[in-house]
Amino acid sequence: MGMPTADSQPILKVVDLSLSYLTRQGPVHAVQSVSFDLGRGQSLGLVGESGCGKTSVANCLMRLLPDNGRLTSGQILLDGQDLVPLSEEEMRHFRWGRMAMVFQAAMNALDPVYRVGEQVMEAIEAHGVEGTTAGARERVARLFRMVGLDPQLMERYPHEFSGGMRQRAVIAMALACDPAVIIADEPTTALDVIVQDRLLRELKGVQRELNMSMIYISHDIGVVAEVTDRIGVMYAGRLVELGDTADVFGAPMHPYTAALMSSFPSISGEKHGLETLPGEPPNLANPPAGCPFHPRCAYATEECRREFPSQVRRGSRWAACWHPLTDMAGAGK
């Protein structure tokens, strides 16, 4: 893709990231050897079933892990700077200052006892983005307008907001310090479809306008297809397929991606019966040997049960599969 210039360096580079949760039953490998690049101004979707490690990846990037979470390997290079070895205090400046988050449970991400505007101001003050209180207030008003909220709502408390308004407020909060990367973790899941659709478009608009990079996490592949340039499919803590959104959804390489797609209804695409994927995702405390998808995969063979597949590359995309689907096979299955 053109000449490599300084600007074409990815803003975020994740290399071989692994996370385990220590539990009484032994370690649970929630994220295993996940690697991906996020270009400047690009948006990357992460999809997969519940419990596949999408949110854990987001929490790793922000280094917001519960007490029993351990990063067992990997690098998180934000603009070339590795975040993994940083101390809590050093990390604090990267949080929100360079990388912000729109939370999964946005409904509860606002503290009930403070005014909404105050909570956005708090982030601005913590990172010294504005020098004066008046400047910070002006900035909050601007952010509110940007996400379609009346600036006067700054003085209201979260319980006085509707679900959609709270979600907008949380997006405004994420934008407060001009982050280079925004991680949106299921930001619209709790909203009704109409509000969801409008918010998505606005989020996309703001991301383009400010030329931010975005990681969009969702189990709803319809939504992800709409807002992302590239997409990564996760299964059992591993990234199993990564490529341009149009390519991946047009012709999935990994059987899991194909199964995921055929289990979702499509309005614009051709009509087909919805299929459910039999079986359940594996227990991450004790994953099956080889490719974790093999117990549910129609194409599984001896080698799938024996060894985790290496990446099969096709242009700018890849899949980790012993028997990647060719262009037509995915749709026919």
Sites of contact with another protein (CB under 8 A): 62, 64, 88, 92-97, 100-101, 103, 105, 108-113, 122-123, 125-127, 130-134, 136-137, 157, 159, 173
Taking phi over 0 as left and psi of -120 to 50 as alpha, with beta for the rest, 186 belongs to left
For another protein, the closer CB: 177 or 233: 177
DSSP β-ladder status, 181-185 and 69-78: unpaired
For the CB of residue 62, give the shortest distance to another protein in the complex, in Å. 6
Q: Rounded to an integer, what distance in angstroms lies between the CA atom of residue 168 and that of residue 296? A: 39
How far is 66 from 120, CA to CA, in rounded Å?
A: 24
- For the bound state, the minimum distance from the C-beta of residue 75 to another protein, rounded and expressed in Å, comes to 21
**Which residue, 103 or 249, has its beta carbon nearer to another protein?**
103
Q: Of the two residues 30 and 221, which places its CB atom closer to another protein in the complex?
A: 30
Chain position carrying tokens 């008003």: 141
Q: How far is the CB of 163 from another protein (least distance, A)?
A: 14
Specify the amino acid at residue 47.
Answer: V
The pair of structure tokens assigned to 52 is 């596949």
- Distance between CA atoms of residues 73 and 34, nearest Å: 10
- Residues recorded for the chain: 333
The nearer residue to another protein, 172 or 320, going by C-beta atoms, is: 172
Residue 3 phi, psi (nearest 5): -80, 135
Please say which residue, 149 or 248, places its beta carbon nearer to another protein.
149
Nearer to another protein, 169 or 200 (CB): 169
Supply the minimum distance, in Å, between the C-beta of residue 79 and another protein: 16
How many Å apart are CA 228 and CA 244, to the nearest integer? 9
Q: C-beta of 66: minimal distance to another protein in Å?
A: 9
Decide the pairing of beta strands 213-218 and 181-185.
Answer: parallel
SS (H, E, C) 139-181: HHHHHHHHCCCCHHHHHCCHHHCCHHHHHHHHHHHHCCCCCCE
- Residue 33 gets the label, from left (phi > 0), alpha (psi -120 to 50) or beta, of left
In the complex, the smallest distance separating the C-beta of residue 201 from another protein, rounded to whole angstroms, is 24
Give whichever of 124 and 319 is closer to another protein, judged by the CB atom.
124
Closest CB 209 distance from another protein, rounded Å: 22
